[in-house]
Structure 1
Amino acid sequence: MSANTLFGQLRDWLVALAGGVLLALMIDSNSWLARYSNPVHASWIAHGIGAAVALLLILVVERARRKRSPSAASGAKAPAWFYLGGIPGALTVTLAAIAINGDLSLSGAIALMLLGQVLFGMLSDHFGLLRMPRRKIVAWDLVVVLCVLSGSALIIYGDKHA
Structure 2
Amino acid sequence: MPAVPNPLDPAHLLLAFLSGGLLTLMVDFNGLVGLHGGVLYSSWVAHGTGTVAAIIFLVALHVLKPSASGTRRPAPLWAYLGGISGAVTVMLTSASVNTALALSGTLALGLAGQVAFSLASDRWGLFGLPRRILRPRNGLAILMIVGGSLLIIFGNG
With the length of structure 2 as denominator, give the TM-score of the two structures. Answer: 0.89
- Match of residue 37 from structure 1: 37
- Match of residue 150 from structure 1: 147
Cα deviation digits, residues 59-113 of structure 1 (max 9, x gap): 22232222xxx63545222122212211111111100011111111211110100
Identity of aligned residues (%): 36
Matched, 1:16 2:16: yes
- Match of residue 94 from structure 1: 91
Match of 2:124 among 114, 124, 127: 127
Distance 1:89 1:63 in 2: 28
Question: Structure 2 matches for 1:77-92, cutoff 5 A?
Answer: 77-92=74-89
Structure 2 unaligned spans of 5+: 1-5
- After TM superposition, give the deviation of residue 138 of structure 1 in Å: 1.4
1:37 maps to a residue whose letter is G
Distance 1:74 1:56 in 2: 24
Distance 1:127 1:114 in 2: 20
Q: Give the length in aligned residue pairs.
A: 152
Distance 2:37 2:132 in 1: 43
Matched, 1:27 2:24: no
Cα deviation digits, residues 21-41 of structure 1 (max 9, x gap): 111111101111111111111
Structure 1 unaligned spans of 5+: none
- Match of residue 136 from structure 2: 139
More helix by share: 1
Distance 1:62 1:11 in 2: 27
Match of 2:109 among 105, 109, 112: 112
Q: Relative to 1, partners in 2 of residues 1:60 and 1:74: Cα closer, same or farther, differing over 3 Å? A: farther
- Match of residue 65 from structure 2: 65
Tell me the SS of whatever aligns to 2:100: coil
Distance 2:133 2:152 in 1: 30
Tell me the SS of whatever aligns to 2:72: coil
